């Protein structure tokens, strides 16, 4: 199967919701569309820095998430493999040269994003993120609802509430705790791995809420990290390089 880039997420979501995919963005991912040609709603969970090698090495951590999903995909990131660059590509369908964020900076994007395409078609969209993080900043100034909080706990509590209420067509949720712990302690120390397990539990909890509250609606959901990570001298973690550990992530997708 062809390995696709994180930039294919944008067109895939648009296509699944029955919307036109602009000619200038990355084409939808055929594997995703075969699994879910059409859905009424979308929930995307964006944990930060969950590399494919983590999925390979700690497969037991991922077992429930994989069994709760219909599809597990090895997915390619973009360079430089840093958070604002990667999420800009994921949600514009464009390369860094095209969308304009080419280093670790967080300007508001001036090009069209998935959130512009969705709002123009009357879709009700929510971004739920921690304050100061890339998703909370680069996608501002769109006709969507923003739920930005200082802690992951408040982010997830609010996201669960929004899913249960069922008022949004698309919900995007960001958790950056594994990335932060990985930078501080290294990718495989006990504290970062605890956060990785928490991210996987959050994804499973999201799926449980979707199934409980979908009320006959078909809901497409995904676990979509931005980039991977690697260990550096001194035992800490990093990313941003054109190397296997940083450039390959694990994506899960499913549908109710």
Q: What is the pLDDT of residues 199-212, one digit of tens each?
A: 999 999 999 999 99
Question: What mean pLDDT, rounded, does the chain reach?
Answer: 97
Helix axes 190-213, 177-185, angle to 10 degrees: 170
Q: Are 58 and 238 in contact (CB under 8 A)?
A: no
| Residue 1 pLDDT greater than 70, yes or no | no
Q: CA–CA distance from 65 to each of 79, 93, 189, 251 (Å)?
A: 27, 26, 21, 10
Percent of the chain with pLDDT over 70: 99
Q: What is the pLDDT of residues 108-118, one digit of tens each?
A: 999 999 999 99
Domains present along the chain, CATH in parentheses: 42-255 (3.40.720.10)
Identify the weakest region by mean pLDDT among 30-39, 148-157, 213-222. 213-222
pLDDT tier at 96 (50, 70, 90 boundaries)?
A: very high
pLDDT tier at 162 (50, 70, 90 boundaries)?
A: very high
> What per-residue confidence (pLDDT) applies to 170?
98
> What per-residue confidence (pLDDT) applies to 216?
87
| Residue 138 pLDDT greater than 80, yes or no | yes
What pTM, to 2 d.p., does this model score?
0.97
Q: What is the pLDDT of residues 50-60, one digit of tens each?
A: 999 999 999 99
Q: What is the average pLDDT across 44-67?
A: 98
């Amino acid at each position: 199967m062809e390995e696709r880039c994180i930039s294919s997420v944008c067109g895939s979501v648009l296509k699944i919701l029955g919307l036109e995919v602009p000619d200038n963005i990355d084409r939808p991912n055929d594997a995703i569309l075969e699994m879910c040609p059409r859905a009424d709603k979308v929930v995307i969970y964006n944990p930060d820095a969950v590399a494919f090698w983590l999925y390979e090495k700690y497969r037991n951590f991922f077992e429930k998430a994989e069994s709760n999903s219909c599809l597990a995909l090895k997915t390619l990131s973009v360079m430089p493999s840093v958070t604002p660059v990667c999420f800009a590509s994921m949600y514009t369908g464009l390369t860094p040269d095209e969308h304009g964020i080419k280093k670790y900076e967080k300007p508001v994007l001036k090009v069209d994003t998935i959130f512009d395409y969705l709002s123009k078609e009357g879709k009700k969209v929510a971004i739920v993120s921690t304050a100061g993080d890339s998703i909370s900043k680069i996608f501002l100034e769109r006709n969507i609802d923003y739920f930005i909080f200082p802690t992951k706990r408040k982010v997830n509590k609010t996201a669960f509430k929004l899913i249960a209420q069922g008022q949004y067509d698309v919900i995007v949720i960001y958790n950056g705790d594994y990335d932060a712990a990985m930078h501080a302690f290294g990718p495989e120390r006990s504290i970062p791995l605890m956060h990785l397990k928490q991210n996987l539990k959050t994804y499973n909890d999201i799926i449980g809420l979707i199934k409980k509250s979908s009320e006959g609606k078909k809901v497409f959901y995904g676990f979509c990290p931005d980039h991977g990570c690697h260990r550096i001298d001194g035992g800490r973690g990093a990313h941003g390089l054109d190397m296997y550990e940083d450039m390959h992530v694990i994506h899960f997708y499913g549908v109710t």
